[in-house]
Amino acid sequence: MGKDEQGLKASSGRYTVVPRTLCFVLSPEGDDVLLLKGAPTKRIWPNRYNGVGGHVEAGEDVYAAAVREVREETGLSVRDVHLRGVINVPVEEGQGIVVFVFAARAESRHFTPSGEGTLEWVPRDRVPSLDLVEDLPALVPRTLDAPPGELPFFALYTYDEQDRLVVQWAASEDG
């Protein structure tokens, strides 16, 4: 199958997405999660805690993008990288973001400071008490508490008339 057979030209006017990754990195021991407190100058989520991640670049798969973003933002090498979920976020007419959510384990606790904000190892039980990006209270446990081999979760994030986040989790086939 050639590039023309992918159907992109026929997709004009259809919903298009920007792919991103989000990774929650556990310490080597697994008791802490590395979170990034966004710099006060950041356009999105200043002074709020989030996982690490970013855009998928042309020519790379989402797994490679997640590992690259962790390395770029933290200096860490990771292992046991698992896709835990996929979130569709339609933000404008015909355009949106798809976020591939990963969990991983760091090879060490020694990170490199990031220009994106302040990195901090946080005990997992302390995460809910932080000023988190608004979906993290539900997203962190779904990501980090998933049993090995569990299928990824799927979610749709939309916004109501007051521009508040509305999260819809897809029902699993298991009930």
Question: Do 22 and 53 contact (CB within 8 A), yes or no?
Answer: yes
Rounded distance between C-alpha atoms, residue 152 and residue 172, angstroms: 10
Residue 2 has which token pair? 């050639």
Residue 35: phi, psi to the nearest 5? -120, 155
Secondary-structure class of domain 17-169 per CATH: alpha beta
Confidence band, pLDDT 50/70/90 cuts, at residue 116? confident
Measured from the Cβ of residue 99, the count of other Cβ atoms closer than 10 Å reads 22
- 28-50: buried (b, 16+ CB within 10 Å) or exposed (e) per residue? eeeebbbbbbbeeebeebeebbb
Task: Check residue 56 and give its pLDDT.
Answer: 98
Is residue 174's pLDDT more than 60? no
**Full-model pTM:** 0.91
Residue 4: phi, psi to the nearest 5? -65, -25
Would you list the domain boundaries of the chain? 17-169
Per residue, the 3-state secondary structure of 2-50, as one string, reads: CHHHHCCHHHCCCCEEEEEEEEEEECCCCCEEEEEEECCCCCCCCCCEE
73-108 confidence digits (pLDDT tens): 999 999 999 999 999 999 988 899 999 999 999 999
Question: Do 169 and 155 contact (CB within 8 A), yes or no?
Answer: yes
